[in-house]
Structure 1
C-alpha cells in the first residue's frame, strides 16, 4: 500500500472510531463558573439586539452566554437533552425529537447521540492542538459562554424563568462545555452523519431497502458585489440564509467586541458562541449551502455466512460492535434501560438500510471529527479584507457544508467552496462506483484502492486541499443560491473541479435564475429602480422584490390557453369553469407581496404541474416536461421557458386548483397575507420551486379554510452591507425575531418588520450604540 493509501486508511479508521468505537465518556469537563475570571458588558439597542464587549475571549463568551440565555434559554435547555441522548428519559421514546431539520423518534435520536458520546470523538479532537483542535481563544470563549449561560439560570431560577415553555420543568438545568462542543460537532455533521441518524441508530436491525439521505437541508441566497457593480465603488454584500424558523438551528443576532482584537456583528446559530454570517469594519461575508458531498457510502462485501464480517482485499474483517444504553420513560412514568447494538466498519458506521445477506453499507463522513470551522469563523470575523479571510480558510480548512461569499471595502468579490470534501476524483468515482445511484456516491468497500486520496496542501489526508477547490475572485460580483459553482458569475463559468463538488452544464433551478436575473437587471438599470449599479437601498429593494419567475415565464401561455378553453377537466373528471380564475391570474401583479391577489392560486396551480400524474387506471405516469422550450446548456439562464399548453397536465392542474378553491369557498384572490402566518403575523413570499428569491416554506398544504400551516423555514437573517471608508452601512432583519420565548417583547417584533418589508438600521460604531436613547446596559462581573 502506498503512503497515500496508508494515510487515507488511517483517516478512515479514525472516522470509524470517531463515530462508533466505544470509549469511556466524552472527556470534556464542565466549564468552571468562577465569576471573578469573567467580565463583560451587554448593551441592548433596538429590538433587543445585544452588543457584547469584553477584554478577552472568556469574558466575551460570558457576556454572550448570559445574553443568549435571557432570550432563548428554553431552546438550548431542550437541545442539550438531545445532544446528551436524554430525551427518552424525560419525554418518552416515541415522541419526536426537537431537531426541526430532521425530527426522528426520541429513542433513535438518543441512541445516535449516545453513540457519538461513547465513541470518544469529542475527547480526541479536543486533545489536538490548533488548528486541528480548538485554539486557546476558542476554548476560553466556550467556557465563558457556558459560565454566562449558567449564571443567568442561577440568578433567575428555573421556577422563575420568564419563558412558559420550560418554566419550572424538571429537565431544565445547567449546560456544560461538552454540550456546546457537541453542538458544534453536530453542526459540522449536518451535511453527513446527521442525515443518517435513524439508519445509524438502527444498524443492529438490518433492513434490505436502499439507504437514502434526508432532503430537509437548509438553503440560502448570497451576493458579494465588487467595485464595478456598486455605485460607490466599494464592496457590498447580501446575506439571505434560509434556515428553520424554529428550534436550535435559528440565528441569533449579536455584536461581539474585544477592543483591538475582534469587532464583528451578524448572525450566530443557537448555542454557537461566534458569528457565522456577518461583517466587521471593512469586510463582510456570508454562506450558502454547498452542493458538494460531505460523505461517501461504502458497499461492504460480507463474508459467506457471516453477516457481521466483511472482506477487504480478500481478507475478512469483523465489524466493530457497540452496545448503547438509553434510559426510557414509559407512559406510566417508570424508567428503564434500553440497550441497542450498533455496528461499525473501517469506513464508519454500518447502516441499517441496504444490509442483506451478501452486502452492507457503511458511511464515511469527512466532518466526523471536525471542529476547525469554529476557529475559522473567529479568524474570518477578524479578517480585514478578502485576502485575510482567504488565508484564514486555508489555515483551518474546516467549513463543514457551505460555500463562502465575501467582499471588502476595496471592492473585491470572492467566492469559494472552501468546505470539507472527501478526496474522490472523477476517475476514482467511476472506477470504484459500486452502485449507479443518482443521489448517493456508493463506492466499493471490498478494496483498499477505493479509499479516499490525499492532497499535499490539505490539512489532513482524505480531503481535497485548497488548490482543488472551486474559487472565483471578481471586481463585479459573485452570487449563489445553492446551485453548484458553475454559474457563480455567468461571465466566468467555473468548470474545472471534481464532480463531487457539483455538476456543470445542468439545468439551474428557478431561484438561481431569478437571483442572477435580478443582478443583471440592476446592473443594466432595467429593473425600474433607477440608474445602473447597486446602492444599499436598491440592494434591499432587489432582495425583497417578491418576484415569481415561474409566473413571468409561464403566465403568457396560460392566458392563451384560458382564452381558448374556458372549461377544463379536473383529475376526478369534473368539468370546471376556469374563467374567473384566469381573470384573477391575469390581473395578479406577479409578485408574492402581502396583498398580491392571485399569488396563492398560482402556487396551487404550479404545484399541480409538478405533482404525480395518474393514468386513468390509477398508475403513475412517467414524468414528461411541460416546458415549451427545453433546457439548453448554451443558454442556461433563459431555458427552459414557456408552457406547453398541449401537455394534459396543464389543464388538469388548473382545473384541480380552481375546483379546490370553489369547493371550499376559498376566494380565488387569496393573498399571501391571508394564507401565510408565523404565529399571528402575516408573512409575504412564495416558494423556491415557483422561482422566488427570498423564499419561504410552510409546514404543509393549503387547508380548506385557505390557510397554510405556519411558515417553518425560509429567509431568516437578512443582512445588506455597504462597506465604505467611513465604516459599514448595514441593514438587517431577523425574520422570526430575537427570542423564541412567547413572553419576550422581542418574540415577534422583527417578524412584523419583515411582514411590512422593513429593515433595521444597524448600530455598529461606539457612537451609534451610545446614541440609542433607550440603551440598556448590563455589566457582569
Structure 2
C-alpha cells in the first residue's frame, strides 16, 4: 500500500480545516442572525498582549470589546476544556461524548441548571447581558478563525452563548462549591450510621476546596502600605483551574484570575484595592426528608403534590448512535428530589438560585476605587458564599463572612448539616440574612486579618467578633485548625512585616502539628520504644520540621500522623484562650509509639531508608516537567498546601492545592508578585502547560507586569481582535 505523501497529507488537512471553518462559521452566523449578540459598530482596535508566561493583557476601548477579547483569549488558552465544561453544564455531555457522562447529565437536569440558566440570562441587567454575549462571541470567533486548534470532539458544543456562561457558573458555584452530588451521596450513606456532628466534621475534613488569605494594615508593615495575599487551594484540573489575566478598558484596569470559562475576574486587584476569597464555613444547602404518600408527600398535616416533568437524555453509543433515557424530575416546595428509597424522598434546597447576578457583582467589585464603592458592590449579596479579604491604598483591611445564609428557625450549625425533617414548614427557610447580619471586621487593632477556611471568629487574634452576637447556625464554634494556627502565628509574631518577608511567609512549609507533638513523641520513643522506634526518633529529632524538597523526616512524621486518630490524639484539648499552644501533648503514648514503629517499618521497606527526602517522593509532574515538590496537606498545619495522588514507583504527584498565588503591596505604584502553579493554558500544544512549576519548586513568585512598557519588555505575542 502506498502511503500518502506529505503534500497529500497537507492537502487533506487543509480541506478538513476549510470544512471545519465553514461549519463553525455557519453556526456562528446563526447565532448572530438570531440576535443573541449584536456587536456595536466600531473602528477601534482591541489588543491582546501575551507575555512570556502566556498571560493575556487586554486593552480595549469599551467593555464589549474587552469581554469579546477575553473570550477569545480563554478559547486560545483553554478552548477544549471550556467547551467540555459548557457541554456538561448544558446536560448534554453524554449525548456528545458517551456513557461516562450520564451521571453528570442526570445531576445537571435534576438540579434544573439549563432551564434556570435561560431564566437567569433573561434576568440580567441588559448592559451586562451584552457583555456575556460578547465573551461568548469572542470564543466563537476564535474557534472560527483557528478551527485546527479545537479538538474534533469538542466542536459539537459550538457555538456557545451567554446562557452557557451562566449554566457553567451555576454548575460550578451552586452545584459544586456549595453542594455537589458526592456530598448528597455521602449524606445518604452516612444518615443511618453517623451523627450529624460526625458527618459535619468528616465532610469538612474531606473537602477538596480550601484557601489562605491575608490582609495586613499599614500599621503592621515596615513600609506603611497595606498588603494582600490571595492563595486559593483547588484541584489542578477541570472547572477549578484559574486563568490569569489583565483587563483594561475605560473605568477598569484589573489584574487577577478567573475560573476557566468564567467571563470576569473572581480574585483581583487594581490601582486602588484588591480582594481574595477563601472557602468559608458556610452552610448554603439542606437536604429535606419527605414522607411519600398517595398523591405526593406529607407537609404540615396535608398532602402536597410534586411538580413533575420528564427530561430525555441522549447517550452516544460506541458505534456513534444515540440511545434515549427518560429522567423523571420531581420538585417539592423545598426543591428538586435527588433520591428516593423505602417510602422516603430527599429534596435539595440551595441558596442563591433566585440571585442571578453574581458575575455582575464580581465585575462591579473590580471597578471599585475605594472601600465605599467596594462595599456597595458587596451589599448586592449576589455571590452565594466565600469569605472576602480586602485591602486598599488608603490602608483599610476588611474581612467579610460573605454569603447567602438562610434565616433558620432554630438550631445550631451541626443541626442543619444532616438530613432535615421536610414534613413541617417550621424547618423550611425562605429568606437569607441581609448584609448587616454577616460577621464583618474592618481595620482591627491587631493590624491583620487571616482566613484558612476556619470560622470567622479567629480572623484576627484577639478576636474582634463574638460568636454570641450571631445565630448559632451562622458558622460553627469549633477549634481553629493547625493550618489556620500557623497562618495566624506568622502574622501575630512579626509586628512589622516587609514585602519580602510577606512572600517568604507565603512559602512556609513548617508543619505546625510537628511543632506541637514532637517534644513529646521523640523522648517517649527514645525511652520506651524498640530499636526501630528509637531510630525513627533520631530521624525526627534532626528533621527541620518542614516539608521542603530536601526535608528528611517529614515523610516519616506525615505517615505517623495519618495513622493516628485525631479525635483522641491530644492530652490537652483546644482552648480558645490559648489558640497558639493548644491542642497539645499525646493522650496515649503507648499507641503513639506502636504507630511509629509500624509506619517506620513501612517507610523503610518502601524507600530503603527512614531519611528519604520529601521531594524524592512527592513530585511536581506535568507533561515534560518533573520537579521535587515542597509543601503538603493543610491538616498537618502546613501553610503551603499541596495534596498528592499516587503516581509511579511509589511516588506521588501534586493534583491539588496552591494554584493561583498573588502577593500585593498597595504602594505607588502597586507592587505585586504572582504564580499560577500549573501554568496558564491547557491546550495540547501550548508552551504554558506546566511552565511555572519550576518557579513553584524554587518557592518563587513572578513579578506582575501591568504597564505597557513592562508588558512589551516581556512580550511573546501581540494580537488585534
TM-score, normalised to structure 1, is 0.81
Which residue does 2:128 correspond to in 1?
138
**Alignment counterpart, residue 417 of structure 2, candidates 428, 440, 458:** 440
The alignment status of 1:240 with 2:231, answered yes or no, reads yes
C-alpha separation between the residues in 2 aligned to 1:548 and 1:285?
27
Which residue does 1:659 correspond to in 2?
601
Q: 1:398–1:600: structure 2 CA closer, same or farther, 3 Å change rule?
A: same
| 1:80 CA drift (Å) | 1.7
Which residue does 2:164 correspond to in 1?
179
Which residue does 1:320 correspond to in 2?
307
Which residue does 1:707 correspond to in 2?
651
**Alignment counterpart, residue 501 of structure 2, candidates 533, 538, 554:** 538
Q: 1:251–1:169: structure 2 CA closer, same or farther, 3 Å change rule?
A: closer
Q: 1:646–1:683: structure 2 CA closer, same or farther, 3 Å change rule?
A: closer
Q: 1:40–1:116: structure 2 CA closer, same or farther, 3 Å change rule?
A: farther
Give CA-to-partner distance per residue, 1:617-669, whole Å, 9 cap, x none: xxxxxx86121222223323321012345241x12321221121222344322
In structure 1, stretches of 5+ residues that fail to align are 1-27, 96-105, 129-133, 454-461, 524-532, 568-575, 611-622
Which residue does 2:481 correspond to in 1?
509
C-alpha separation between the residues in 1 aligned to 2:679 and 2:655?
13
Q: 1:546–1:323: structure 2 CA closer, same or farther, 3 Å change rule?
A: same
Contact 1:31 1:147 (C-alpha < 8 Å) held by counterparts: no
Give CA-to-partner distance per residue, 1:161-183, whole Å, 9 cap, x none: 2x7xx367664633222211111
**Alignment counterpart, residue 334 of structure 2, candidates 326, 347, 365:** 347
**Alignment counterpart, residue 665 of structure 2, candidates 722, 743, 765:** 722
Which residue does 2:10 correspond to in 1?
none
C-alpha separation between the residues in 2 aligned to 1:247 and 1:723?
33
C-alpha separation between the residues in 2 aligned to 1:226 and 1:405?
12
Which residue does 1:564 correspond to in 2?
527
| 1:449 CA drift (Å) | 3.6
In structure 2, stretches of 5+ residues that fail to align are 1-32
Contact 1:111 1:325 (C-alpha < 8 Å) held by counterparts: no
Question: What SS is found at the alignment partner of 2:338?
Answer: coil
Question: What SS is found at the alignment partner of 1:42?
Answer: strand
Question: What SS is found at the alignment partner of 1:352?
Answer: strand
Higher helix share: 2
**Alignment counterpart, residue 691 of structure 1, candidates 610, 615, 637:** 637
Paired positions, count: 670
The alignment status of 1:777 with 2:718, answered yes or no, reads yes
Give CA-to-partner distance per residue, 1:327-357, whole Å, 9 cap, x none: 113344432101122221011012316x432
Which residue does 1:22 correspond to in 2?
none
The alignment status of 1:521 with 2:521, answered yes or no, reads no
Give CA-to-partner distance per residue, 1:346-396, whole Å, 9 cap, x none: 11012316x432x433211112243322111111111112222111111x2
**Alignment counterpart, residue 365 of structure 2, candidates 380, 384, 389:** 380
Contact 2:217 2:225 (C-alpha < 8 Å) held by counterparts: yes
Question: What SS is found at the alignment partner of 1:392?
Answer: helix
Contact 1:296 1:422 (C-alpha < 8 Å) held by counterparts: no
Question: What SS is found at the alignment partner of 2:610?
Answer: coil
| 1:79 CA drift (Å) | 1.0
Give CA-to-partner distance per residue, 1:4-50, whole Å, 9 cap, x none: xxxxxxxxxxxxxxxxxxxxxxxx97843769669521012231211
The alignment status of 1:61 with 2:3, answered yes or no, reads no
The alignment status of 1:472 with 2:441, answered yes or no, reads yes
Contact 2:110 2:336 (C-alpha < 8 Å) held by counterparts: no
Question: What SS is found at the alignment partner of 2:715?
Answer: coil
Question: What SS is found at the alignment partner of 1:48?
Answer: coil
Give CA-to-partner distance per residue, 1:409-443, whole Å, 9 cap, x none: 1111101112111111xxx223xx9xx96671544
Q: What RMSD, in angstroms, separates the aligned Cα atoms of the two structures? A: 2.8
Q: 1:774–1:520: structure 2 CA closer, same or farther, 3 Å change rule?
A: same
| 1:118 CA drift (Å) | 7.4
Question: What SS is found at the alignment partner of 2:480?
Answer: coil
C-alpha separation between the residues in 2 aligned to 1:29 and 1:520?
59
Q: 1:638–1:514: structure 2 CA closer, same or farther, 3 Å change rule?
A: same
C-alpha separation between the residues in 1 aligned to 2:529 and 2:55?
54
The alignment status of 1:548 with 2:507, answered yes or no, reads no
C-alpha separation between the residues in 1 aligned to 2:701 and 2:299?
58
| 1:111 CA drift (Å) | 1.7
Which residue does 1:498 correspond to in 2?
471
Q: 1:409–1:286: structure 2 CA closer, same or farther, 3 Å change rule?
A: same
C-alpha separation between the residues in 2 aligned to 1:541 and 1:224?
16
TM-score, normalised to structure 2, is 0.87
Q: 1:742–1:583: structure 2 CA closer, same or farther, 3 Å change rule?
A: farther
Question: What SS is found at the alignment partner of 1:272?
Answer: coil
Q: 1:444–1:693: structure 2 CA closer, same or farther, 3 Å change rule?
A: same
